[in-house]
Amino acid sequence: MFGTGKLHWSQEHYSLLTVNTGSMLQHYLTKPGRWAVAPMSVIHALSHNPDLTYYTLQEPPSPRICYMLTNRYPNARRHASVQVFQQELFSFIEKSKDICSFEAWMLKE
């Protein structure tokens, strides 16, 4: 969670807006008292701004689960390329501090 002031969280407060890209978020956190809930990837991207600080939610939301889809009947000529892509993808995920891999606790509700 990013913010520039004291956090207020109650039923009577409502969202002023919703942005669909993390880069847009910084334009709306320019006044004291404004705050946002954002994934760590956005927090890392905006961490260069000394006027912003972040806090971890005491009760975080469920993790986002992303699925990798592939063709059930892959083209034999493209098989090697798909394997290279998958290896690069897994390597990227493993090295990224913003992405976690699947863990069994993610299935528990």
What strands lie across the sheet with 35-36, from one edge to the other? 35-36, 2-3, 53-54
Query: Structure pTM?
Result: 0.56
Give the model's pLDDT for residue 6. Answer: 46
Write the CB contacts of 9 (distance below 8 Å, at least 6 apart in sequence): none
- 3 by DSSP, 3-state: which? strand
Q: For every one of its 109 residues, what pLDDT tens digit does the chain have, with 9 covering 90 and above?
A: 555 444 445 556 667 778 888 888 888 888 888 888 888 888 888 888 888 888 888 887 777 778 888 888 888 999 999 999 999 998 998 888 777 776 666 666 5
Q: Residue ranges of the domains in the chain?
A: 2-54
